[in-house]
Amino acid sequence: NSIIKEKISSTKEDINNNKHTMQLLSEQIKYQVQLIENNKKHDDEEIAKKLIEIENSNNQISTLKNNNELIQKHIDAMNKKIGNKKEVLEKKSRQLLQIEAKAESNIEKNKKDLKFYETNDSCPSCKQHITENWKEKQKKDIQKKVEKQDNALKEISEELNKINTDLSNITVIINSISQHNNEVIKNNSTISSLNLYIEKLNKEITQLSKNQINTNENDEELKKLKAELSKQIEIQKELL
């Protein structure tokens, strides 16, 4: 009887110990499952955040592309407006400057001739006397030429001023085109950066998704705990 009592007592103790072990294993499994779920929840939240960032980045890209289209239309309109006017005006300006220089030279020559008739009564070369009537006639003719040439210079000067004004306006447009082109370049650079950022986010999302698969399927600790619990359940059956 004593031996039987001892055996029963020992069996009860083993059963209690086994129950305690199973309870601990169950708690550990519960903790491990919770840990996996928390990690998955965290990864899901991170993926959601990154998807929002991708959407925002794509919206920015769309806005920048639309802006570029509007800017390009403006650039095309300005290019059409100026066409080849700059080259035409510059060529005309060079021609007028040549005419102006020639006119100024002729005026200077005529003024010298006028001074000659105003200060000489005879020809310095042949010593022939110059009559007053001839001098007056020559002076009047020269003065008419000078007056005509002065008027021509004024017209040239006005035309040059108009050309310079037009060229200044064209320069303003060209500078505006340059600024617009720089804006397009800047936008394209931003678009490239955003595309790289989106690519980076997609890689991170892929990695987070892989992490979830690996966590669910390959958590060695969870597998070990479950295996140990199964073993203890079998032991418990044998004890009972």
Each residue's pLDDT tens digit, 208-240: 877 665 565 546 676 777 777 788 777 777 665
Q: Which residue has the tokens 């001739």?
A: 113
Whether the full predicted model's pTM is greater than 0.85, yes or no, is no
Q: Is the pLDDT of residue 127 over 80?
A: no
Most distant CA atoms of the chain, gap in Å: 177
d(CA 236, CA 204): 46
Section 101-107 average pLDDT: 92
Lowest mean pLDDT among 6-10, 71-75, 184-188: 6-10
Whole-angstrom Cα Rg for the chain: 51
Tens of pLDDT along 34-93? 767 767 777 778 888 999 999 999 999 999 999 999 999 999 999 999 999 999 999 999
pLDDT of residue 239: 65
Record the tokens describing residue 199, joined without a space.
Answer: 């690519």
Closest to 170 in 3D by CA, of 83, 93, 77? 83
List residues bridging with 129 in a β-sheet.
Answer: 122
Residue 239's nearest CA partner among 29, 20, 62 is 20
Give dist(CA 69, CA 227) in Å, integer: 64
Give residues with Cβ within 8 angstroms of 21, minimum separation 6.
232
Contact 116, 139 (CB under 8 A): no
Report which DSSP code applies to 129: B
